[in-house]
């Protein structure tokens, strides 16, 4: 059962960009994740806070789960559960913050896993809780940028942030601070 403070990981089938994300990131138990969010309680029901589309937003849990065929549930282990309340408070304060379409840390915008990273760093007395790694937008076979990323960043008129420090859903799902409980399909 999903509860407040759980991290939800999804394999979104959003086309070439999601495929490219999943090709270069590995999730817990070998799963491929291209999106993540934080479960919150609101008005006696569960919702999620997520950075998606144009901004950080609150989404109905059922709508969130209905987006894809598989959602995995991650729960903070033991004493780390005490960080949930502050992480949720931080996330609430980010509602409406623009989506970070250039995937750069610390630019006043958020992509999905960056929001989770900052929320738990805030809750952890402003010390990193999850680990950052150099990001790659390159195909692991030929080590050249995926064509989808070339087009994407060209349209934004910014360079591909290859090797810039960042985070992704797969990296968070593999954190030593999380226990992956299970995966939920649309019919569960």
Q: How many residues does the chain have?
A: 188
Q: What angle do CA 117, 162, 87 make, to 5 degrees?
A: 5
Q: Where residue 27 sits, what CATH number does that domain have?
A: 3.90.1720.10
Query: Confidence band (pLDDT; 50, 70, 90) for 188?
Result: very low
Per-residue pLDDT of 103-115, as tens digits, reads 999 999 999 999 9
How buried is residue 155: exposed, middle or buried, by Cβ count under 10 Å (0-12/13-18/19+)? exposed
In a domain, 70, yes or no: yes
In a domain, 188, yes or no: no
Sign of CA dihedral 76, 78, 80, 83: positive
In a domain, 2, yes or no: no
For residue 187, pLDDT over 50 is answered with: no
Residues 6+ apart with CB under 8 A from 71: 8, 9, 10, 64, 65, 183, 184
Query: Confidence band (pLDDT; 50, 70, 90) for 184?
Result: low
Q: Output the pTM of the full model.
A: 0.93
Residue 151: enclosing H or E segment and its boundaries? helix 147-156
Per-residue pLDDT of 21-79, as tens digits, reads 888 888 888 888 999 999 998 767 899 999 999 999 999 999 999 988 778 999 999 99
Domain hosting 103: range is 7-180
Total number of domains constituting the chain: 1
The b-or-e profile of 51-78 (16+ CB within 10 A means b, else e) is bbeeebbebebeebbebbebbbbbbbee
In a domain, 120, yes or no: yes
In a domain, 187, yes or no: no
In a domain, 86, yes or no: yes
In a domain, 185, yes or no: no
In a domain, 95, yes or no: yes
């Amino acid at each position: 059962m999903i509860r407040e403070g759980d991290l939800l990981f999804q394999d979104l089938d959003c086309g070439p960009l999601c495929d490219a994300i999943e090709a270069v990131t590995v999730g817990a138990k070998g799963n491929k994740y291209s999106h993540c969010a934080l479960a919150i309680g609101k008005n006696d029901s569960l919702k999620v806070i997520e950075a998606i589309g144009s901004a950080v937003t609150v989404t109905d849990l059922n709508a969130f789960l209905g987006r894809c065929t598989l959602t995995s549930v991650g729960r903070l282990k033991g004493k780390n559960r005490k960080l949930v309340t502050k992480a949720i408070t931080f996330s609430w304060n980010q509602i409406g913050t623009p989506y970070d379409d250039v995937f750069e840390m610390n630019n006043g915008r958020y992509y999905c896993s960056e929001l989770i990273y900052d929320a738990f760093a805030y809750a952890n007395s402003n010390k990193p809780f999850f680990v950052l790694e150099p990001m790659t937008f390159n195909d692991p076979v030929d080590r050249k940028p995926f064509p989808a990323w070339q087009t994407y960043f060209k349209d934004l008129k910014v360079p591909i942030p290859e090797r810039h420090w960042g985070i992704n859903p797969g990296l968070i799902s593999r954190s030593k601070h999380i226990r992956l409980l299970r995966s939920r399909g649309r019919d569960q």
